[in-house]
Amino acid sequence: MTEDGLRALTLHDVPQKDWEKKKLWLPSPPYGLGQFNTSFCSLRESEKDLFFIRMKRVDVLVKESALKMISYDGIQDEMVPKLINFIYNNFLII
């Protein structure tokens, strides 16, 4: 409440550094403490179906996908060296 007790404080009334102290904003507890109840968040049938479809997919390495991507027709020539450089710097282990 404001000092006169006539209205609730808002984030605009208090400097951000004091939000937690005034209990205008409280950080979420760490997830691992078990304070979140997700039992009410049930899956839709479409999400279950999608899960099983994705389980059947073959895992493809990002490196393989990127190399395949630069071999496609129509890719702009000036992008190929940048893509190859990115692939070798980020995905290839030598």
The string over 27-66, giving b where at least 16 C-beta atoms fall within 10 Å of a residue's C-beta and e elsewhere, is eeeeeeeeeeeeeeeeeeeeeeeeeeeeeeeeeeeeeeeb
Q: Are residues 35 and 70 in the same domain?
A: no
Using the structure block, give the residue that is written with the tokens 């984030």.
11
Residue 66 near residue 91 (C-beta atoms within 8 A): yes
Confidence at residue 19, expressed as pLDDT on a 0 to 100 scale = 85
Q: Are residues 35 and 8 in the same domain?
A: yes
Q: Are residues 25 and 64 in the same domain?
A: no
Say if 4 falls within a structural domain. Answer: yes
- pLDDT above 90: residue 8: no
- pLDDT above 70: residue 74: no
Q: How many domains does the chain have?
A: 2
Say if 50 falls within a structural domain. Answer: no
Q: Are residues 39 and 62 in the same domain?
A: no
Model pLDDT for residues 9-55, shown as the tens digit of each residue: 888 888 889 888 888 888 888 877 777 787 888 889 999 999 999 89
Say if 36 falls within a structural domain. Answer: yes
Domain that holds residue 31: 1-44
